Amino acid sequence: MKITTIILAAGKGTRMRSELPKILHKIANRPLLQHVYDMCQQLENNTIKIVYGHGADLVRESLQDLEAGWIEQKQQLGTGHAVQQVSDQIADAETVLILYGDVPLLKLTTVKQLTANVNDLSLALLTVNLENPTGYGRIVRDESGRVAKIVEEKDASSTEKLIKEGNTGIMAVQGGQLKKWLNRLTNNNVQGEYYLTDIIEMAVADGIAIVTSQPETVDEVLGVNNRIQLSHLERVYQLEQANYLMEQGVTLMDPARFDLRGSIEMLGIDIICDVNVIIEGKNSIGNNVKIGANTHIKNSIISDNVEILANCVIDNAVIGEGSKIGPYARLRPETVLAEHVHIGNFVEIKKSSIAASSKINHLSYIGDATVGAQVNIGAGTITCNYDGVNKFRTIIEDGAFIGSDTQLIAPVTIGKNATIGAGSTITKDSPENQLTLSRAKQVSIANWQRPVKHD
């Protein structure tokens, strides 16, 4: 069966109190609408149409990569009016699935159930039993328990308001029938809107059965109307991801203090994450990796047996097997570390490759450098890679030893097994196997008197 999914996303979201259209607010760094889109993209034989309106330019610009039919609803005259905008693109024989762009955590299984319940004689409606259904349309059933209609909160009588079964707004319906009912909608109600929900009563009158189903959890059908609801769904989503990772063999010291804002495409086992770890973008993490508290990892590849100590920031970096990072290290984009590299506290590495078993343990800046294997870089070493206009490379060959507090003025090459004396400013290439240093001769003044204070 062919499916057309219509995602309603034209609303303003006044209660967000934001310049940003509601559907562009994010959960796990992904816009609300993108969550809905990604989920229904997994449906087979499905065409996606997005009805947008409020913040039209920004919405189109921000989500231009989404492959969908975009239909602008210039004036937001109600959910029925929104679906009417797509009417002429709906085929009679297909199933139309209606979703909301601000209900981000709806599950594929729930949606599949709905589409399976549709045929020429039945319409599928997703309802939810709520402790407090305030604000929701109520599902009105007849004496035999069959759905008779949906009444909006604002149009409901006091007895109808007691109904706990709410309308999620999500439904699936046969295309030809939907179009017929859409044509008959009026805005004769308290809000003066064209309610999509009015098609239920029309369907019943046409002898169509309303088949209801319910989501596994209420959170699945919650919409975002304000930032409190946004944060609630962020936590729900994060906990779902945390649970999934734990099932896959990851230890999280506290799943409530773990955030994945992206994906881990290759995931090893026996990874241990301390609290407040944030993982962003696309990553790969190998077996037996330890990640210390308060560490932020983004778009990085972390190989087996790596240990990252607390408070590191790792961005677009590759870390080779058995390497040890931190605490307080910063790996910036295009950092590539081979196996068993040690990067210690207050070390910043940018656009540099460091070969196997090299150590940069304290207070250094290594930028635009190619560092060989078994190199030892002493505390306070700085590659002076920038003259204020251009950037230059530093090459440090295998086995070199750089004494503490050294400035390497790029472009410069330190030869194989060279030793640089501490406190040097190196402006010229340093030959292999030799000791190179640039240091003023140390002098001591005998009989020197300390100044005394004048009255």
Residues 32-51 that bind ligand UD1 (CB under 6 A): 51
Which lies closer to Ca ion via its Cβ, residue 134 or residue 159? 134
Annotated active-site residue in 25, 54, 362, 454: 362
Which lies closer to Ca ion via its Cβ, residue 223 or residue 326? 223
Provide the minimum distance between the beta carbon of 205 and ligand UD1 in the complex, in angstroms, as a whole number: 18
State the Cα angle at 124 between 120 and 127, rounded to 5°.
Answer: 165
Q: Is 25 marked active-site?
A: no
Which lies closer to Ca ion via its Cβ, residue 23 or residue 242? 23
Instruction: Pick what 197 binds: Ca ion, ligand UD1, none; C-beta below 5 to 8 Å, kind-dependent.
Output: ligand UD1
Tell me: does residue 152 bind ligand UD1 (CB under 6 A): yes
Distance CA 263, CA 292 (A): 19
CB 167 within 8 A of CB 125: yes
Using DSSP, state whether 170 is helix, strand or coil: strand
Which lies closer to Ca ion via its Cβ, residue 8 or residue 343? 8
C-alpha distances (whole Å) from 246 to each of 254, 258, 269, 271, 324 are 11, 11, 9, 9, 24
Provide the minimum distance between the beta carbon of 7 and Ca ion in the complex, in angstroms, as a whole number: 14
Provide the minimum distance between the beta carbon of 341 and ligand UD1 in the complex, in angstroms, as a whole number: 50
CB 180 within 8 A of CB 92: no
Exactly one of 133, 223, 326, 372 binds Ca ion (CB under 5 A); which one? 223
Count of helices and strands (H, E) across the chain: 7, 37
Provide the minimum distance between the beta carbon of 181 and ligand UD1 in the complex, in angstroms, as a whole number: 13
Helical H segments across 301-389, by residue range: none
Distance CA 160, CA 140 (A): 7
C-alpha distances (whole Å) from 391 to each of 230, 351, 368, 409 are 44, 11, 8, 11
Which lies closer to ligand UD1 via its Cβ, residue 70 or residue 401? 70
Tell me: does residue 150 bind ligand UD1 (CB under 6 A): yes
Task: Count CA within 13 A, CB hemisphere, residue 191.
Answer: 15
Residues paired with residue 364 on neighbouring β-strands, in sequence order: 347
Which lies closer to ligand UD1 via its Cβ, residue 32 or residue 308? 32
Residue 336, C-beta contacts closer than 8 angstroms, at least 6 positions apart: 317, 318, 352, 353, 354
Query: What is the amino acid identity at position 174?
Result: Q
Provide the minimum distance between the beta carbon of 349 and Ca ion in the complex, in angstroms, as a whole number: 48
Instruction: Pick what 382 binds: Ca ion, ligand UD1, none; C-beta below 5 to 8 Å, kind-dependent.
Output: none
Provide the minimum distance between the beta carbon of 356 and ligand UD1 in the complex, in angstroms, as a whole number: 54
Residue 34 tokens read as: 């993108």
Provide the minimum distance between the beta carbon of 112 and ligand UD1 in the complex, in angstroms, as a whole number: 21
Residue 292 has phi, psi (to 5 degrees) of: -75, 170
Distance CA 394, CA 15 (A): 54
Residues 155-214 that bind ligand UD1 (CB under 6 A): 166-169, 195-197
Distance CA 217, CA 223 (A): 13
Q: What is residue 29's DSSP assignment?
A: T
Q: Spell out, one character per residue from 220 to 259, where the chain touches ligand UD1: x when CB under 6 A holds, - when not.
A: ---x------------------------------------
CB 339 within 8 A of CB 357: yes
Exactly one of 37, 136, 237, 365 binds ligand UD1 (CB under 6 A); which one? 136
Residue of minimal Cβ distance to Ca ion: 223
Residue 89 falls in which region: left (phi positive, over 0), alpha (psi -120 to 50) or beta = alpha
Instruction: Pick what 100 binds: Ca ion, ligand UD1, none; C-beta below 5 to 8 Å, kind-dependent.
Output: ligand UD1
Residue 401 tokens read as: 């030893």
Tell me: does residue 106 bind ligand UD1 (CB under 6 A): no
Residue 94 tokens read as: 């297909």
User: Which of 29, 28, 12 has the alpha carbon at shortest distance from 20?
Assistant: 12
Instruction: Pick what 212 binds: Ca ion, ligand UD1, none; C-beta below 5 to 8 Å, kind-dependent.
Output: none
Which lies closer to ligand UD1 via its Cβ, residue 50 or residue 301? 50
Which lies closer to ligand UD1 via its Cβ, residue 8 or residue 331? 8
Tell me: does residue 11 bind ligand UD1 (CB under 6 A): yes
Instruction: Pick what 37 binds: ligand UD1, Ca ion, none; C-beta below 5 to 8 Å, kind-dependent.
Output: none
Exactly one of 3, 8, 343, 377 binds ligand UD1 (CB under 6 A); which one? 8
Exactly one of 81, 179, 261, 330 binds ligand UD1 (CB under 6 A); which one? 81
CB 327 within 8 A of CB 340: no
Query: Contact residues for ligand UD1 (CB under 6 A)?
Result: 8-11, 51, 73, 76-79, 81-82, 100-102, 136-137, 150, 152, 166-169, 195-197, 223
Show which residues are catalytic: 362
Query: Contact residues for Ca ion (CB under 5 A)?
Result: 223
